[in-house]
Every structure is written in C-alpha cells, then in structure tokens.
Amino acid sequence: MSISSEHDQTPVALVTGATGAIGQAIARQLAAKGFEVVLACRNQAKGERAVQEIKQATGNEQVHYELVDVSRKAEAQALADRWQGPLHVLINNAATTPRQRQETPEGIELQFATNVLGYVWMMEAFSDVLKTSAPSRVVNVASYWAGDLDLDDLEFKRRRYTNGQAYRQSKQADRMLTVAMSKRLSPHGVTVNACHPGDVNSSLSNNLGFGGHESPDQGAATPVWLATDPVGQEKTGKYFEHRSESRDRFAEDEAANEELYQACLAY
Ligand SMILES: NC(=O)c1ccc[n+]([C@@H]2O[C@H](COP(=O)([O-])OP(=O)(O)OC[C@H]3O[C@@H](n4cnc5c(N)ncnc54)[C@H](OP(=O)(O)O)[C@@H]3O)[C@@H](O)[C@H]2O)c1
C-alpha cells in the first residue's frame, strides 16, 4: 500500500530547504506522486521560482511555499500556528555549512541552530498536527558523513570551529534525535526515520569542499521512498542509505540520545 492509499484525501507534505538542490527534487518528486506540497523556504523569490518550476514540471497545481527561517524557533512555531489542515509527511532537509562560525540573532551557532535545532523545532511545532493526521511520517535528511558530536560543546565554544566538524556533528545529532523523537511520536502513529540522501553538487557540499557524483533526483530518491513507501510506515527510529536500512552506530546509546534531546529542548 502506498501512502496515497493510506488516506482518503490528498496527502500533504512539508519540505524544508525546498529551494536547495536535494530539497527541490524531493518536493518535485512528491508533487509528481500527487501530494499537495508546501515548500518551506527562507527566500521569497527562490520560493516563488521553485513553486513555478515544480508546477510546470509536474502539472500539479497544489504546490505552495511558506516562508520560515528554521534556525529561529519562533518562526518554526509561527508556521505551525498558521498551518491549516492535515500534515502527512514532514521532511526536515534544510541545512547550512558556513565556512566561518556564525550565530543566529539569538546567539546560537548557526549550523547547530539550522541543522539540529531546526529539525527538533519543526518536529515539536508540528507534532500535534502530525498526530491528528496519523498515519504520518517524518523524514530527517541526515548524512553518512557524521561524527564528532560533543555533548558538552554543541556550539563550538570550546573547540575551534571548522565547518566540516560542525557539519558532521550536526548530522550525527540528526540521527540520534530521530531515535529520541521516534520514541515520542511513534506511539501516536507518526514514524520518524533518518537517511543519507546521496552525494549531490550543491552550495552546502561546495562549502565543505565536495562536489557530488549523484543528481539531485538521485539524492531525493531515499527521502521520497521513506515518505511514500510502506517501509516508511512500518519502520521507525531507523537510518537508511540508498533505500535500505543501515546500522546506525551513532544512535545506539539511548542515554546520549536523550541527553541531546533534552539539551535541544532547553533552547
Ligand atoms: N549534497 C550532498 O552531497 C549531501 C550529502 C549528504 C547529506 N546532505 C543533506 O541534504 C540536505 C540538503 O542539502 P543540499 O545539498 O540540497 O543543500 P543546498 O542545495 O545548499 O540546500 C540547502 C537548503 O536549505 C535551506 N536553508 C538553509 N538555511 C536555512 C534556514 N535557516 N531556514 C530555512 N531554510 C534554510 C537553503 O535555503 P536557500 O536556498 O535560501 O539558501 C536551501 O534551500 C541537507 O540536510 C544536507 O545535510 C547533502
């Protein structure tokens, strides 16, 4: 059974970072599968352009954008507060990799705020609508390039900042938080899974010094599969690469997952 047949109505998806390489491909593929798709973007001109391109490519007119800076808790909450109707799929995908250490206006290191807290804030803000829309799913776009998480220095205040290390930490955190959030949401019919998308040429990967040998569509394939295939409803709290479940050595320490989740809630 595909997700379309799990619901009487048109399934609704919200994709963060949907003006980026992988995010726009995810949004387009979901639109092609008949979803109503909301692109969560921080730049209006880019959002308008992406919506037009997706409508033109798919013929699906139920494609919209909403403005949100996911590195700011109040903006994630404001988006959830103005949300109307159900939400069946939330894809957390927005991320950033600034070469120099930067902070949000609230004084939070930008990669941690965007790539980690942004995921938590979106899941928390949308948890009620996801529950009332159940069966529903969250897909957290993480990476196989992960590690170096220091629970005592999440914002690189003690360690010297490099964007590679801050990025690897953030993607480890996304995988750990997937388990912590799954524990809380799956009893309500909301699955939460994480994945590596693919190696794709993008602003994010270029900042890290990488190109990418896969197309945006290839990068979107695993997130879209988790969002639409029955496996994404059967499995929860798991990590996937190339459409297959993979052991996640970073998410096996339950106490650490919980400590990280509680640390995120304190922001
Ligand atoms: N590319 C790869 O090889 C690769 C490999 C493994 C994992 N990933 C993961 O795939 C995901 C997408 O990456 P990508 O390669 O597609 O990167 P990208 O092309 O640079 O796209 C990143 C997207 O995130 C948005 N964004 C950044 N900060 C934001 C904020 N504060 N609020 C709202 N949106 C924000 C960007 O918006 P703007 O368009 O306004 O800048 C852009 O739409 C990330 O989670 C990344 O970690 C990528």
Parse the chain into domains and list their residue ranges: 8-265
Q: Does residue 51 surpass a pLDDT of 60?
A: yes
Q: Does domain 8-265 have CATH number 3.40.50.720?
A: yes
65: Cβ–Cβ under 8 A, 6 or more apart, which residues? Answer: 18, 38, 39, 40, 41, 44, 47, 48, 50, 51
Supply the DSSP symbol for 160: P
Q: Does residue 173 surpass a pLDDT of 80?
A: yes
Q: Which residues sit opposite 12 in a β-bridge?
A: 36
Does residue 135 have a cis peptide bond before it, meaning omega lies within 30 degrees of 0? yes
- Residues tagged active-site: 167
CB-based contact 103:109 (threshold 8 Å): yes
Pull the structure tokens for residue 50.
């992406």
Model-wide pTM > 0.85? yes
Q: Give the closest residue (by CA) to ligand 1 atom 46.
A: 95
Task: Report the DSSP pairing between strands 36-41 and 63-67.
Answer: parallel
Ligand 1, closest atom to CA 115? Answer: 45
What is the mean pLDDT of the segment spanning 157-174?
98
Secondary structure (3-state) at 199: coil
Runs of H (alpha helix) within 214-253: 216-228, 231-234
- Number of residues that make up the chain: 267
Q: Does residue 226 surpass a pLDDT of 70?
A: yes
Q: In whole numbers, what is the pLDDT of the chain averaged over residues?
A: 96
Q: Which residues sit opposite 136 in a β-bridge?
A: 190
Secondary structure (3-state) at 67: strand
Q: What is the CA radius of gyration of the chain?
A: 17
Q: Does residue 4 surpass a pLDDT of 60?
A: no
Whether the CB of 222 sits within 6 Å of ligand 1: no
The count of other CB atoms within 10 Å of the CB of residue 265 is: 12
Question: Best of 144, 204, 210 to mutate for ligand 1, by most ligand atoms within 8 A of CB?
Answer: 204
What is the whole-number distance in angstroms between the Cα of residue 96 and the centre of ligand 1?
Answer: 6
95: Cβ–Cβ under 8 A, 6 or more apart, which residues? Answer: 17, 111, 114, 115, 118, 141, 167, 170, 204
User: pLDDT category, 3, cuts 50, 70, 90?
Assistant: low
What is the mean pLDDT of the segment spanning 134-159?
98
Question: Best of 14, 42, 73 to mutate for ligand 1, by most ligand atoms within 8 A of CB?
Answer: 42
Supply the DSSP symbol for 115: I
